[in-house]
């Protein structure tokens, strides 16, 4: 009697049906959760997982684990690929990185650079919140909204010179707050 693996490797349709039925619900739920409920992304990733499984069944080594674990390993790689592609499409990736739910941050699903970025973003947000409101707002206006000093002056009713002074003090305080995290690497330059 052939094992399920051998039947799958021989492209036995009944064996593939059995394998699919045994894992369809759990695997789809796993993928759906990891793509944050995006039905189209879940369907695309789910389909790619099964195509990979069929194409690479010869690479499965029964001595290294079970078919289920192998299949979920493919799923983790496909979800990570989904997020990498989404980050690449978003330009800087900042918005897409912030969309990744914290429960995905186990290293096996999300690439290390994304995890590092999320951690850095949390530190930056916390440091911004520690600033006095006026300093926080001037930094957000300048570096997030990309307003010029003149535009900030018009918005706040201050003179351009006063805005420059406020920006200088805000940057220095912000650098001081971040120095503990970024050591001496990134805090030397303006945010």
Q: Which of 139, 97, 136 is nearest to 119 (CA)?
A: 97
pLDDT at 80: 80
Give the model confidence (pLDDT) of 146-165 as tens digits: 899 999 999 999 999 999 99
Under a CB-based contact definition with an 8 Å cutoff, are residues 48 and 78 in contact? yes
Give how far the C-alpha of residue 28 lies from the chain's centroid of Cα atoms, to the nearest Å: 20
pLDDT in tens, the chain (191 residues): 788 888 998 999 999 999 999 999 989 988 888 887 889 999 999 999 999 999 999 988 888 888 998 998 898 888 888 877 777 666 544 544 555 554 444 444 455 555 566 566 667 777 787 888 899 999 989 988 889 999 999 999 999 999 999 999 999 998 888 776 665 444 444 44
Tell me if 14 sits within 8 A of 2, measured CB to CB. Answer: no
- HSE at residue 10, side-chain half, CA atoms within 13 A, is 9
Contact present, 152 and 136 (Cβ < 8 Å): no
pLDDT score for 116: 63
Q: How many CA atoms lie within 13 A of 67 on its CB side?
A: 20
Q: Smallest Cα–Cα separation from 191: which of 151, 161, 146, 130?
A: 146
Which domains does the chain possess? 4-104 (1.10.1740.10), 131-182 (1.10.10)
pLDDT digits (tens, 9 = 90+) for 29-61: 888 888 878 899 999 999 999 999 999 999 888
State the Cα–Cα distance between residues 119 and 112, nearest whole angstrom: 11
For 140, which DSSP code? I
pTM recorded for the entire structure: 0.51
Cβ-count burial 38-54 (b if 16+ within 10 Å, e if not): beebbeebbebbbebbe
Residues 6+ away with beta carbon under 8 Å from 55: none
């Amino acid at each position: 009697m052939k094992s399920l693996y051998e039947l799958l490797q021989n492209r036995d349709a009944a064996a593939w049906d059995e394998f699919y039925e045994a894992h369809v619900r759990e695997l789809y739920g796993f993928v759906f959760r990891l793509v944050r409920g995006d039905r189209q992304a879940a369907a695309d990733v789910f389909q790619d997982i099964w195509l990979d499984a069929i194409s690479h069944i010869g690479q499965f080594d029964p001595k290294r684990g079970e078919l289920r674990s192998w299949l979920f390993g493919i799923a983790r790689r496909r979800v990570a690929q989904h997020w990498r592609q989404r980050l690449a499409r978003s330009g800087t990736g900042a918005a897409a990185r912030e969309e990744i739910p914290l429960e995905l941050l186990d290293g096996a699903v999300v690439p290390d650079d994304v995890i590092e970025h999320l951690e850095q973003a949390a530190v930056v947000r916390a440091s911004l919140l520690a600033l006095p409101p006026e300093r926080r707002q001037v930094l957000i206006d300048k570096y997030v909204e990309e307003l010029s000093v003149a535009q900030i002056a018009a918005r706040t009713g201050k003179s351009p010179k006063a805005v420059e002074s406020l920006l200088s003090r805000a940057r220095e305080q912000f650098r001081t707050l971040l120095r503990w995290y970024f050591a001496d690497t990134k805090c030397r330059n303006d945010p």
